[in-house]
Amino acid sequence: MTEKIDLYKSLKQEYAAPKKPRLVQTTDALFLAITGRGAPGGEGFQESVAALYAVAYTVKMTRKADGLQDYVICKLETEWWGDDAETALTDQPRAEWNYRLQIRTPDCVDEAEPARAAAALIDKGKSPRVRDVVFHRVAAHQRGQLLHVGPYDAEGDAFEQIRAMIEGEGLTAAGHPREIYLNDPRRTAPEKLKTILCMPVAG
């Protein structure tokens, strides 16, 4: 049996968590993802998180049962965007924020696997939201990122630092901001939350 894949560890460069913003080059990435709309941490958001994890673990464990390549489940990531691209996200009502929750997944996984996992889960009475978990691909790109320690609602300043760094390099920030959660908000005091914040560079 080949060794277990651990993308979070093997892609250290991409998951760098510097205190000061830094430019990072990513590689082509495959995610299992679910999109939704609503305030971060709200009920719909939590349901989406649960559905995504249910599919992610079902895909992984089904592969393991079938003797296919095993891997470690990566950290949860979220992209956020508003309906109005001209207005800063934080100036739009939180209930109208759009999100895409995602878990990076090795590309040995086949596109039919999440659908099969969802069918098995629904057969056992799990939420129909699992059907909305799909593949999401992000092409290699450059992004600014830093490690934010503290509550999620204090991220605005950190994103500003990333944007300033990007502009200082003569580049332009573009695309959706991304959070990569390094610990579990249900179990961690807000001031100890560790989140990698990312801002893609136009390009």
Partner 1 sequence: MKASTVESYRLRLWRVLDFIQARLDEPLPVADLAAVACFSQHHFHRVFRGMVGETVQNHVRRLRLERAALALRHGDSGILDIAQDAGYESNEAFSRAFKQHCGVAPSVFRERRELSFPRRPGAIAFGQMPPIDDLIVPGLGGPLMKVELVTRETLRLAGLRHVGPYNQCGNAWEKLLPMMGKLGWLSGCESMVGLCHDDPESTPAEEIRYDACVVVDETFEAFDDVTIHGIPGGTFARTVHVGPYDTLNKTYAALCGTWLPQSGHETRDEPAFEIYINDPESTEPEDLVTEIYLPIV
Residue 66 touching partner 1 (CB under 8 A): yes
Question: Is residue 33 a contact point for partner 1 (CB under 8 A)?
Answer: no
User: Nearest-CA neighbor of 48 among 63, 36, 30, 60?
Assistant: 36
Q: Which of 5, 8, 22, 134 binds partner 1 (CB under 8 A)?
A: 8
> Dihedral sign, CA of 44, 47, 53, 57?
negative
Shortest distance in whole angstroms from residue 117 CB to partner 1? 7
Q: Among residue numbers 106 through 135, which ones bind partner 1 (CB under 8 A)?
A: 117, 119-126
Minimum separation from the CB atom of position 87 to partner 1 (A): 34
Between 9 and 137, CB nearer to partner 1: 9
Contacting partner 1 within 145-174 (CB under 8 A): none
Residue among 47 and 155 whose Cβ is closer to partner 1 = 47
**How far apart are the C-alpha atoms of 78 and 47, rounded to whole Å?**
14
Q: Binding of partner 1 at residue 72 (CB under 8 A)?
A: yes
Cα 13 to Cα 43: distance, rounded to the nearest angstrom: 34
- Cβ 116 to partner 1 shortest distance, Å: 10
Question: Strand, coil or helix: what is 194?
Answer: strand
Q: Which of 32, 33, 74, 173 contacts partner 1 by CB under 8 A?
A: 74
Supply 33's token pair: 């993802």
**Phi, psi angles (nearest 5°) of residue 13:** -55, -45
Work out whether the CA dihedral 138, 100, 34, 56 comes out positive or negative. positive
Asked if residue 17 lies in contact with residue 147, where contact means CB atoms within 8 angstroms, the answer is yes
Name residues whose C-beta falls within 8 Å of residue 120's C-beta, 6 or more positions apart in sequence: 58, 62
Give contact residues for partner 1 (rule: CB under 8 A): 6, 8, 50, 52-58, 60-62, 64-66, 72-75, 117, 119-126, 183-184, 186-187
